Amino acid sequence: MTEKKRCSFSFGNNEYQVTDKFLLYHDTRWCKPVHDDQELFAMLVLEGMQAGVSWNLILNKEENFRKAFDGFDPVKVAAYDDAKLEELMQDSGIIRNRQKIKAAVSNAQAFLKVQEEFGSFDAYIWSFTNGEVIDHHLLDLKDMPAKDELSEKISADLKKRGFKFTGSVIIYSYMQAIGIVNDHWEYCDYR
């Protein structure tokens, strides 16, 4: 039995060490279309939390994040008060960055407004591509952008709606995480 081929994540630094959690994420979730609003919210929070740290760190703490943030239920997160924020700031299982935690709360509030306006966040976020996946058919790491015109457009719209930690680089990564963009290498068996 031949081993399946995966995208090459040897980016020349230790940030992308191939861990079991990283491989599982790559093989089963990365660039796979997501249409569940709660999971769309979860990934938006996790991508915002990732700013300035490695994705491996986020993956290692993901279960803790899901527990600490009530399974990323946007209704519950939107209602967090100062006491809950302080509780989260004491939770060593997550990234204890006050700005990022406050952003998760304000993003939950903005998320609920988008749901109200569009019927679902899924309808909103996928409307940018008319529900289609953008497949880049990458052949080399140098072909993968950190951001693009679409991530800039979505970022600007999210910011206009009150979202935080949604710059164009974070949003490009978010588009990969929820499958709007497929950036698996062309030879990857997990496309």
Annotated active-site positions, please?
25, 47, 55
Residues 173/182/28/9 CA torsion (nearest 10 deg): -70
- 3-state SS assignment for residue 163: coil
Q: Letter for the amino acid at 43?
A: M
Cα–Cα distance measured from residue 180 to residue 185, given in angstroms and rounded to the nearest whole number = 15
Cα–Cα distance measured from residue 178 to residue 64, given in angstroms and rounded to the nearest whole number = 20
The tokens for 83 are: 């006491």
Of 64, 178, 139, 122, nearest to 170 (Cα)?
178
